[in-house]
Amino acid sequence: MQKLNSWWQKPLTLSIVFSAVMAVLAPLFFKLVHISTANRVGFLFVIINTIFAWWLGRYVKDHKIVWAVILIFPILFAGMVFWRYAKYDYWFAGLYLVTSLLALAKD
């Protein structure tokens, strides 16, 4: 149990798990609670995920994780869009990548 607990607390693991939750589970949760498409795009895709992308970039920089970790979130999000949502949502994957890179380059 101690090995599992120490694995869970590593910054790399946390960034990957949070990326998966925000890219895959959050949109499914919004769909499950019957939030409209416009609200989902406006609130989740624009506001929450952009803030998460910024946080991810800062987290990678602060914990000195390899920069390629920030690619996981946009790639998972693009896969989720391909599987489930409208094609115009692909633009958000690029937005998240640029936001994470800007946060990584800050300071």
Per-residue pLDDT averaged across 40-45, rounded?
86
- Per the structure, the count of domains in the chain is 1
Q: Is pLDDT above 70 for 8?
A: no
Q: How far apart are CA 67 and CA 102, in angstroms?
A: 12
Tell me the pLDDT tens digit for each residue of 46-100.
899 999 999 999 999 999 999 999 999 999 999 988 887 777 778 889 999 999 9
Q: Where are the alpha helices (DSSP H) in the chain?
A: 2-8, 11-20, 26-32, 37-39, 49-62, 72-84, 90-105
At residue 37, the pLDDT reads 82
* Contact yes or no for 77/92 (Cβ under 8 A): yes
pLDDT band at 41 (very low <50, low <70, confident <90, very high): confident
Helix (H, G, I), strand (E, B) or coil at 66: coil
What is the domain extent for residue 7? 2-105
What is the pTM assigned to this prediction?
0.88
Q: Where are the alpha helices (DSSP H) in 33-68?
A: 37-39, 49-62
